[in-house]
A and B are shown apart, each in its own frame.
Chain A
Amino acid sequence: MHMECEDLIRLISEYLDDEMEDLMRDEFREHIYRCERCTAILRTTKQTIVFVQEIHKEEKVPATLMRKVYYEIKIRSKK
């Protein structure tokens, strides 16, 4: 089977999530190797995810919020 550009675009997420079967992955990579346009789409999709992860880095839970939640639970445990 020869993979076309539209097949590749449809399968990008499966490839990025590492959920592709070996044979399909080989065909995917073979297409990427010879298609500059699909290489760009794959790279920019991957980069988009990296950017979003980068700007949404984990933040620490505020200590005041932790205290508030513990307090709310304590009140309810006494009911």
Chain B
Amino acid sequence: MESKTKNETELVERARHGDVKSFESLIEMTSPNIYNLGLRLMRNKEDAADIMQETYIKAYENLSKFKGESSFSTWLYRIATNNALMKLRKEKKRKVDTGVLEGAADKAHFDGLTDWSGNPARHFRNNELKEALNKAVDTLPPKYKSVFVLHDIQGLPIAEVADILSLSVPAVKTRSHRSRLFLREQLSEFFKKQKNLV
């Protein structure tokens, strides 16, 4: 990890001095994360491609402004996420009310005792489940969705997510927790409906 960061810092330094090959190496190193972030936030390849392209152009044009206070990858994540958030806010898709997310914890408490966690392999093949889950993730308001995707799908630590989104660590934790409980509740509803259909 340390040598990766060192390598990244050296490449940024060289790119700053006009070495395009070094910037290309940075793109090669970081593009899987940036492309997949766009894909997971937007859920379509065209927007993911736009986000990736715009992110690298913006990063290249603003290299002199990169102060190295966070890692280059974190800085890129920040550019890409801000770009995606702007697109997400323009989306016409229905979003769940923040109050509903806040209430997901109470709902979990009074939820019927349903444990559908068994036999995950069978569920992975269930296309209706995939559809229901994607739909639920899409109804998360952008400020929740970005936290959920960065932390739970991209696998970034809470502190890095906070850095990317310029939020406090407790704010990230709250949004992550509410998103998880909301999605869990949506899946519980899905399994309840499926059970009633049998």
Contacts and interface: CB of A to CB of B under 8 A. Distances in A.
Interface of A: 5-6, 9-10, 12-14, 16-17, 19, 36-37, 39-41, 43-56, 58-62, 65-66, 68-70, 72-74, 76-77
A65 B49 contact: yes
Given A52-B153, A54-B124, A55-B130, A47 B113 contact: no
A49 B151 CA distance: 10
Given A44-B116, A65-B35, A51 B133 contact: yes
A41 B133 contact: no
Contacts of B128: none
A68 B57 CA distance: 11
B180 interface: yes
Interface in B47-82: 49, 52-53, 56-57, 60-61
A59 B109 CA distance: 37
B187 A61 contact: no
The interface size bin for chain B is 35 or more
A70 B27 contact: yes
B183 interface: yes
A40 B109 contact: no
B32 A40 contact: no
Nearest to B104: A9
Contacts of B60: 73, 76-77
Given A51-B124, A58-B36, A77-B60, 5 more contacts: A13-B176, A40-B117, A51-B120, A56-B40, A73-B56
A8 to B, nearest CB: 9
A43 B117 contact: yes
